[in-house]
């Protein structure tokens, strides 16, 4: 029997928190006999090999069609291609350009073509294991795509769209109901790569998170209990003036569900995903915009606290962003840190690239890449070892470009505990926490806000990852932590739900 409660998003978040008293009961033995494959197979469809275009040199000597194939090939490879093969006692482990919790890679990448000289109309699945496209449906579905996306203006003149989905069991096999958090963090990593890889190849991705879920799932012939469409991303070709588009609405609200039955463990993920869906003929009204005067201010301005400016020069990504591409392809999650300090300038550079894309337009990156709503995301930094910066916990104010100290202490011991005993937390020089006022987010976007918050945090986390790797530093995201204790120990306000943690430091090589 259903009864009135908090929103299902709040309920899900509380139910999937880790607690020191119960964490041992969460560590169940993995069902290795049913370990999911990270690759999707299609029995029918025409394969298009994209590997030959990776090796082609970019230049005016290429025919237009070859140049366009190269752009598309590089875009997909730098977004989600295989970048390493690690031998193991069993099957080899393949790493991709975007990180994934536990190496499970729940996201799938599809293309929809309106019908171009390169790609006939229809649906394509990207196959990372051999860097190819499978054309598994050869009919014009663009009109159906537009209808499912409430006739979003970014779909009017574009010819291609990336669609990302999630295969839930790939992540739930290990992380159970809490996997929903990791699925959307992983999608956020992928969105960060798509944003940057698009800029390198003269595309502009337009992010759409508000669409009719069941219509999109049906378009791709997905079983909604197993796999769901997560984002739609029209690709504006910047070499075609007709496709130069202003940014559109990225996020629409779902309903807020406050009446739901008791949901058994193991069924919460599926129930919650269904509750976050949009299923209506007309689009929900866009959320009201915050007054400009208010939006120019950062949320927390603690009185009498130490304030450190983070203004600095942009990272140089090389001619035609060549060093950004090489960084994406050599990125690895750091497994151990030395415990040595970072410099304040290094920390400034990491924060600057993550939060100030407007300073990178001269290098060819997007002035204002699409997120769902960064005004809902807050950033705190626990500093354990940064030369020139006092130890403690700081609030990062991106608009003012400054760190504001809220706690005076070395938190290495506590960070080791908060990160479930992982040495990454203990030995990191700085640990970044992305948080959000969940009730405020749900009031604005309904229960679907939970998707947006985690994807935005993952997107920011991927920019941190890439900046760190470029500076020869280490970075590793952590999706498992003692939620409530983070707020208590670091002095983070209680109404800030911890969404994601990124550790930063000097890597230790074994």
| Backbone phi, psi, residue 304, to 5° | 65, 20
> Are 257 and 313 members of one domain?
no
Q: Could you say which of 218, 249, 275 is where a domain stops?
A: 275
> Are 40 and 123 members of one domain?
yes
In the three-class reduction of DSSP (H, G, I as helix; E, B as strand; rest coil), residue 3 is classed as strand
Position 8 in a domain: yes
Position 285 in a domain: no
- pTM > 0.85: yes
> Are 234 and 182 members of one domain?
yes
> Are 231 and 303 members of one domain?
no
For residue 244, the model assigns a pLDDT of 84
Tokens of 76: 């997909």
Instruction: Check: CB of residue 344 under 8 Å from CB of residue 389.
Output: yes
> Are 230 and 342 members of one domain?
no
What's the domain count of the chain?
2
For residue 289, the model assigns a pLDDT of 56
Per-residue DSSP letters for 88-112? Answer: -SSSPEEEESS--GGG---EEEEEE
Position 24 in a domain: no
CATH number (domain holding residue 167):
3.40.109.10
Centre a 10 Å sphere on the Cβ of residue 8 and count the other Cβ atoms it contains.
26
Position 510 in a domain: no
Instruction: Check: CB of residue 414 under 8 Å from CB of residue 489.
Output: yes
What range does the domain containing 49 cover? 3-15+34-275
3-state secondary structure string across 248-274: CCCCCCCCCCCEECCCCCCCHHHHHHH
327: number of CA atoms within 13 Å, CB side? 26
Position 362 in a domain: yes
C-alpha span between 231 and 211 (Å, rounded): 9
Position 26 in a domain: no
For residue 190, the model assigns a pLDDT of 98
Position 499 in a domain: yes
> Are 149 and 47 members of one domain?
yes
C-alpha span between 376 and 427 (Å, rounded): 29
C-alpha span between 17 and 497 (Å, rounded): 10
Residue position matching structure tokens 């915050």:
290
> Are 373 and 487 members of one domain?
yes
> Are 230 and 300 members of one domain?
no
For residue 291, the model assigns a pLDDT of 44
3-state secondary structure string across 373-436: CHHHEEEEEEECCEECECCEEEEEECCCCEEEEEECCCCHHHHHHHCCCCHHHHHCCEEEEEEE
> Are 501 and 444 members of one domain?
yes
For residue 288, the model assigns a pLDDT of 65
For residue 57, the model assigns a pLDDT of 63
Burial of 445 (0-12, 13-18, 19+ CB in 10 A): buried
Nearest to 328 by CA among 94, 109, 79, 503: 79
What phi-psi label fits residue 302: left (phi over 0), alpha (psi between -120 and 50 degrees) or beta? beta
For residue 284, the model assigns a pLDDT of 79
> Are 99 and 72 members of one domain?
yes
Q: Could you say which of 222, 247, 275 is where a domain stops?
A: 275
> Are 364 and 268 members of one domain?
no
Nearest to 338 by CA among 508, 138, 464, 144: 508
Rounded mean pLDDT for each run of 10 residues along the chain, 510 residues in total: 76 96 78 92 94 74 88 98 84 92 97 96 97 97 97 96 98 97 98 98 97 97 97 96 87 96 96 95 70 65 91 96 97 96 98 98 96 97 97 97 95 96 97 97 97 98 98 97 95 94 93
Centre a 10 Å sphere on the Cβ of residue 416 and count the other Cβ atoms it contains.
17
> Are 201 and 299 members of one domain?
no
Position 284 in a domain: no
Q: Could you say which of 244, 275, 306 is where a domain stops?
A: 275
Polymer length in residues for the chain: 510
C-alpha span between 335 and 427 (Å, rounded): 11
For 57-68, give one letter per residue: b (16+ CB within 10 A) or e: eeeeeeeeeebb
């Amino acid at each position: 029997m259903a009864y009135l409660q908090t929103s299902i998003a709040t309920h899900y978040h509380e139910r999937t928190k880790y607690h020191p008293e119960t964490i041992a009961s969460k560590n169940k033995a993995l069902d290795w006999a049913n370990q999911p494959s990270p690759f999707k197979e299609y029995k029918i469809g025409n394969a298009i090999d994209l590997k030959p275009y990776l090796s082609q040199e970019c230049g005016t000597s290429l025919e237009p069609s070859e140049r366009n194939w190269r752009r598309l090939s590089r875009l997909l490879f730098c977004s989600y291609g295989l970048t390493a093969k690690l031998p193991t006692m069993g099957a080899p482990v393949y790493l991709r350009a975007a990180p994934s919790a536990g190496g499970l890679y729940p996201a799938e990448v599809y293309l929809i073509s309106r019908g171009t000289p390169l790609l006939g109309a229809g649906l394509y699945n990207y196959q990372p294991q051999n860097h190819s496209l499978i054309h598994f449906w050869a009919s014009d579905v663009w009109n159906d795509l537009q209808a499912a996306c409430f006739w979003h203006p970014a779909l009017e003149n574009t010819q291609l769209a990336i669609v990302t989905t999630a295969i839930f069991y790939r992540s739930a096999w290990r992380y159970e109901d809490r996997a929903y958090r990791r699925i959307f963090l992983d999608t956020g990593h992928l969105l960060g790569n798509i944003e940057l890889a698009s800029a390198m190849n003269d595309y502009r991705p337009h992010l759409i998170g508000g669409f009719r879920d069941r219509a999109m799932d049906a378009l791709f012939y997905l079983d909604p209990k197993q796999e769901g469409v997560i984002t739609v991303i029209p690709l504006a070709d910047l070499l075609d003036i007709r496709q130069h588009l202003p940014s559109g609405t990225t996020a629409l609200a779902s309903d807020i569900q406050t009446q739901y039955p008791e949901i058994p463990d193991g069924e919460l993920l599926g129930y919650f995903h269904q509750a976050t869906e949009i299923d209506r003929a007309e689009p929900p009204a866009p959320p009201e915009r915050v007054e400009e005067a208010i939006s120019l201010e950062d949320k927390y301005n603690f009185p009498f606290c130490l304030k450190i400016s983070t203004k600095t020069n942009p990272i140089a990504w090389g001619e035609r962003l060549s060093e950004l591409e090489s960084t994406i392809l050599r990125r690895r999650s750091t497994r151990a840190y030395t415990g040595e300090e970072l410099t304040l300038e290094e920390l400034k550079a990491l924060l600057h690239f993550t939060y100030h894309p407007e300073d990178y337009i001269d290098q060819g990156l997007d002035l204002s890449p699409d997120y769902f709503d960064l005004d809902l995301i807050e950033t705190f930094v626990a500093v354990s070892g940064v030369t020139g910066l006092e130890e403690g916990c700081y609030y990062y104010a991106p608009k003012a470009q400054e760190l504001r100290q809220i706690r005076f202490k070395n938190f290495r011991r506590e960070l080791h505990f908060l990160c479930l005993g992982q040495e990454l937390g203990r030995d990191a020089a700085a640990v970044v926490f992305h948080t959000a006022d969940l009730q405020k987010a749900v009031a604005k976007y309904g229960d679907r806000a939970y998707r947006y918050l985690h994807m935005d945090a993952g997107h920011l986390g991927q920019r941190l990852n890439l900046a760190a790797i470029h500076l020869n530093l280490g970075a590793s995201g952590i999706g498992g932590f003692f939620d409530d204790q983070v707020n208590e120990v670091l002095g983070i306000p209680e109404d800030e739900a911890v969404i994601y943690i990124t550790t930063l430091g000097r890597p230790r090589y074994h």
